[in-house]
């Protein structure tokens, strides 16, 4: 037994102006999960506390919440594993979604983004619907098996820093699901889905903060799936986007001189079609020159650049064999 203070965010949008925290304390038995604790509070202390749960076995994903600032499934989180030195635990609803009440959020945004990436198999337009069941090579299945373990809990969406800044971003869960269907060889027209994902709000808007990987209760690793989608887009010639040009310019610049040419990167990444953004970046560029970060002169190759160029040639040769 251990005395624990649960600091829980409460909010009834119809009555409360802003969310607030309420504390509940009791002696927690050994082996209690956070969900056990919430159920105890609701049953014996405050029956007005609202939250979601169902399976209690980390399968349904409905009990995702923020615990001490990071999303977790409360059914699989032991109290003692997240207990702070002062004997407290803070529980809040998932982030990046609208609060319905207390710890329960509106998941409409999550499902809208999921549906937008068309997470289903579409038959080949040339072959039509197959007459019998597909046979699939186990190696192909193994290439997307990790992404198939997603239980739609929304933890990655909750803690996504890109989504926090841009509501238009597809989000890690939807993009991981998109990769799962893009690599599935039973699908017919994956190119159309990928073309959609290179647009604004798609695969190039992930800032690779790794939060989605850290909070995923399974083995999905959404950020890794997004990086795979980026590679697939480049390999299929989908290079006419800011993100794709950024990768190309960055790689070419470092290969040419061994260091990144900071003045070249934004200009070529944005392109002439984004003149307004280029003009807006001028004050930052000027500051970089004053601080010595950006050189107005072309970079001369540094020692070891030839080795870097050789390594790149060997990698590209290996990729084409």
Q: Which tens digit of pLDDT belongs to each residue from 15-66?
A: 877 999 999 999 999 999 999 999 999 999 999 999 999 999 999 999 999 9
Q: How far is CA 49 from the centre of its chain?
A: 30
Per-residue 3-state assignment (H helix, E strand, C coil) for the chain: CEEEEEEEEECCCCCCCCCEEEEEEEEECCCCEHHHHHHHHHHHCCCCCCCCCCCCCCCCCCCEEEECCEEEEHHHCEHHHHCCCCCEEEEECCCCCCEEECCEECCHHHHHHHHHCCCCCCCCCCCCCCCCCCCCCHHHHHCCCCHHHCCCCCHHHHCCHHHHHCCCCCCHHHHHHHHHHHCCCCCCCHHHHHHHHCCCCCHHHCCCCCHHHHHCCCCCCHHHHHHHHHHHHHHCCCCCCHHHHHHHHHHHHHHHHCCCCCCHHHHHHHCHHHHHHHHHCHHHHHHHHHHCCCCCCCCCCCCCHHHHHHHHHHHHHHHHC
pLDDT higher than threshold 80 for residue 272 = no
In the predicted structure, residue 188 carries a pLDDT above the cut 80: no
Look at 215 and 127; give whichever has higher pLDDT. 215
* More confident of the two residues 12 and 190: 12
Domain boundaries, the chain: 2-105, 108-235, 242-320
Alpha-carbon distance of 231 to 224, in angstroms, equals 11
pLDDT (mean) for 223-235:
96
Paired tokens of 312: 């790149």
Domain 108-235 class in CATH: mainly alpha
pLDDT of 150 over the 80 cut: yes
Fold of 2-105: Ubiquitin-like (UB roll) (3.10.20)
Residue 278 has pLDDT above 80, yes or no: no
Instruction: Judge whether residue 225 has pLDDT over 90.
Output: yes
- pLDDT at 9 > cutoff 90: yes
CA atoms within 13 A on the CB side of 110: 21
112-137: pLDDT as tens digits = 999 999 999 887 777 777 778 878 89
pTM of the model: 0.89
- Percent of the chain at pLDDT > 70 equals 100
Q: What is the pLDDT of residue 235?
A: 92
């Amino acid at each position: 037994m251990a005395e624990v203070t649960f600091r829980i965010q409460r909010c009834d949008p119809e009555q409360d102006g802003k969310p607030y925290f309420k504390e509940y304390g009791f002696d927690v038995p050994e082996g209690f999960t956070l969900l056990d604790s919430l159920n105890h509070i609701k049953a014996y202390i405050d029956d007005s506390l609202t939250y979601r749960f169902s399976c209690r076995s980390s399968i349904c994903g409905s009990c995702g919440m923020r615990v001490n600032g990071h999303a977790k499934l409360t059914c699989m989180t032991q109290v003692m594993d997240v207990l702070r030195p002062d004997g407290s635990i803070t529980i809040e609803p998932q982030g990046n979604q609208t609060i319905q009440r207390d710890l329960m959020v509106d998941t409409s945004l999550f499902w809208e983004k999921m549906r937008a990436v068309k997470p289903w198999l579409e038959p080949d337009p040339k072959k039509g619907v197959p007459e019998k069941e597909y046979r699939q090579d186990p190696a192909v299945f193994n290439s997307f098996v990790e992404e198939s373990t997603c239980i739609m809990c929304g933890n990655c969406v909750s803690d996504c820093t890109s989504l926090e800044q841009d509501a238009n971003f597809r989000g890690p869960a939807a993009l991981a699901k998109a990769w799962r269907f893009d690599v599935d060889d039973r699908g017919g027209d994956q190119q159309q889905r990928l073309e959609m994902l290179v647009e604004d709000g798609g695969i190039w808007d992930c800032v690779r903060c790794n939060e989605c990987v850290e909070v995923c209760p399974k083995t999905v690793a959404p950020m890794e799936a997004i990086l795979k989608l980026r590679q697939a887009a480049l390999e299929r010639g989908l290079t006419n986007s800011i993100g794709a040009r950024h990768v190309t310019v960055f790689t070419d610049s470092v290969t040419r001189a061994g260091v990144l040419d900071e003045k070249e990167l934004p200009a070529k990444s944005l392109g002439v079609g984004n003149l307004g953004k280029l003009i807006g970046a001028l004050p930052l560029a000027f500051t970089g020159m004053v601080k010595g970060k950006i050189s107005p002169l072309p970079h001369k190759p540094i020692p070891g650049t030839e080795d870097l160029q050789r390594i790149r040639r060997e990698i590209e040769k290996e990729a084409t064999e």
